[in-house]
Amino acid sequence: MTAETWDYEGYDPERERLRESLCTLGNGYFATRGALPECVADDTHYPGTYVAGCYNRLTSEVAGRQVENEDMVNLPNWLPVRFRRPGRQWIAPDADPVLDHRLTLHLSSGLLERRTRYDLGRGQVLSVRQQRIVHLADPHLAALRTEFTAEGFSGDLEVEAALDGGVVNAGVPRYRDLDGRHLTHVHTGTPAPDTVWLRCRTRTSDIRVGMAARLTADAPVTAEPTAVRAVHRVQLHLTEGCPATVDKTIALHTSRDPAISDPLAAAIDRVVTAPGFDALLDSHLTAWDQLWRRAELDVQGEAGGILRLHLFHVLQTLSPHTADLDVGVPARGLHGEAYRGHVFWDELFVLPYLNLHFPEVSRALLRYRHRRLERACAAARATGRRGAMYPWQSGSDGREETQQLHLNPRSGRWLPDHSHLQHHVGSAIAYNVWQYCEASGDTEFLHTKGAEMLLQIARFWADSAVWDEHLARHRIKGVVGPDEYHETYPDAAAPGLDDNAYTNVTATWVLTRALELLDTLPEPRRRELVERTGLDTGELEQWQDVSRTLHVPFHDGVISQFEGYGDLAELDWDGYRRRYGDIRRLDRILEAEDDTVNRYQASKQADVLMLGYLFAPSELHGIFRRLGYRLDEHTWRRTVDHYLCRTSHGSTLSGLVHGWVLARARRAEAWKFCQEALQGDIADLQGGTTGEGIHLGAMAGTLDLVQRGLTGLETREGALWLDPVPLPELSSYGFTLRYQGHWGVRLRLEKEQLEIAVPASDRSSIDVRLPDRAVRVRPGETCGLVLPN
């Protein structure tokens, strides 16, 4: 394993799903899991291909109830290439002896290479080498080259390649009670012997899918379309020691694509005119070279290798092609079916990285939210409130997609799911709008679509707040915070918690920013917004009032996660660790014991501490001052200590946030949590979940930890603010940024030295602010700064 490759040695069925996720290839438009082409979907393997934004809705009967779910659809499988000696069984790793097996993911080139040697008996060995790409330059193409080499024999080899339309969504065992048959009207055909096609459509969303494949080989190719499989066959004659090559090129279109008439016609035309494998590989490599230059990251050692893998998966899920699509940030990437491909709040951890490298992608992801603003306003109206109530889980059209029931695999029970009460997702969207505009300088977006979202989210928070005469403060009741363990009070009749600190503080921030924005908008635009939204002076005065009087609960000198948190019982953490070992999913353990985590001071992930992730210390203190509270360093450190020992880290985001916060609060312990964030997917720390899809927010968050967390980088007031906190384990690193029209701005931290290089351009100088000084760096200049101890 190097910084440029990610390697797996030997065939390990138990780890195959994990490898398939981490060896997924994509280009922002679609992605395909790293399954072996000769293997079908079963308990070991799961080939899956997913197009960004391609969803379908089905109704299933679960626990006696009709439950509707929308899923990202597993599209026809383009991978199948199987092979055998004439008259024998198809060769596969679970049926035949494997002498050697190696998977190499080439990160710099987006190429998956596979080498396997099968023992055929009597001293005969078949060597298989494959190279796979999902084309980065042309997002509708993918290609697979297979080389067969005979060792110890010469003879014939039958090869069958196919497009398989008989696929279902079955990649997550917890969902298998749900209907996964999303495709219908599967048809196949062939326009020429070397080309086959398959078309189908989704059952309810009626998205038409067209796929075509071209096969070239060192022997004649025949086409044999069947009911749900478009098949190519070729018989190779292998000469000992001489490779025989089969190249498969596929094209994929859907009716969601722009500038096409018919997806099948577009796919056939594209695959027929596509160049050969070598030429495709050349243009693919060029596209990846360009992408890596824009996202340059220099971190040495093991951490650097993992960060590069994380960056690779972020880039191929949210590539420049994403800028042309109507899609959000899928929490599990395009790598599997966990969370059904839904969009949560994970963009809060992804966009801050993209803002400083691919702002056009960030803008597109925010436009996904803006297109669904009216749906969010309708959702708020349905609850009797004004403004925009964005869904906790979003899919195709912006309605709430959170499941009504979820399965506890430990107890086998289906339980009510109340996570739709996580209305703080609206604050995450507002935060992302603001951060994007600060980093990119895109005032046009801020004054138009950004302002429309920000104002409606602020309106929702103001209208959600109720006045409490006893406290003489406003309160927000009936919500769930980032910690999903707590969604109701013990023995309460209805779900929801009161005054979640994270929710109330971020609501204050949104209201404050919305008021600031209204003050700075050009008068004609302000007038348009006021007329369109019906804002009046009385409502704005209410915003001012709520933004200064929201209640933040405290107990024992620390910020309470929510009102009443301090009254909950303490958990016997040591006892549960002794009994169960891994207690990350403490909620499932307790429910299986007929208990509930709602009774305890126990968190799944950072909740209150998320405030230290979002806001620099000075900004967080300012928000509390606005609310009339004093948050000094001692209180914050006590708060950090309190929750640090009461968190099970049942989310991959938890280690990331704790590492970020501890880098400034308790530096000696920070690296342990940074390592957990780095290891989350590669070591599958959440117990088998990575095989169902990567955790994109955590991956992007580790990149942003280096980019913003350790450097203290903020983009505000037209300047780059830096306040580095180098960790001993990560004291030297460098990266490039794109900042307000400056491309390739290079920052390098080397122990106590900070170097900033701004490439030559016609742009103005960059203002750089440190705690003890300010400098201006002109284009074409390199500035070296000595940091204080």
Q: How far is CA 305 from the centre of its chain?
A: 19
What sign does the dihedral 562-563-569-570 (CA atoms) show? positive
Residue 590 · residue 573 · CB < 8 Å = no
Going by the DSSP 8-state scheme, the letter that residue 566 receives in this structure is G
With both helix axes pointing from N to C terminus, report the angle between 501-520 and 537-549 in degrees, rounded to the nearest 10: 140
DSSP code per residue over 396-409: SSSS----SEEEET
Using CA atoms, how far apart are residues 375 and 598, in angstroms rounded to an integer?
32
Amino acid at 766: I
Record the tokens describing residue 270, joined without a space. 């594209």
Q: Burial of 127 by CB count in 10 Å (0-12 exposed, 13-18 middle, 19+ buried)?
A: middle
What is the C-alpha radius of gyration for the chain, rounded to an integer number of angstroms? 27
- 215 three-state secondary structure: strand
CA end-to-end distance (rounded Å), the chain = 35
Does residue 14 have an active-site annotation?
Answer: no
* Catalytic residue of the set 20, 484, 487, 692: 484
Using CA atoms, how far apart are residues 316 and 29, in angstroms rounded to an integer?
9
Using CA atoms, how far apart are residues 416 and 403, in angstroms rounded to an integer?
9
Sequence-distant (≥ 6) Cβ neighbours of residue 121 within 8 angstroms: none
Q: Checking phi first, is residue 706 left (phi over 0); if not, alpha (psi -120 to 50) or beta?
A: alpha
Using CA atoms, how far apart are residues 558 and 552, in angstroms rounded to an integer?
11
- The candidate with the shortest Cα–Cα distance to 358, out of 324, 331, 323, 333, is 323
Residue 17 · residue 23 · CB < 8 Å = no
Residues tagged active-site: 484
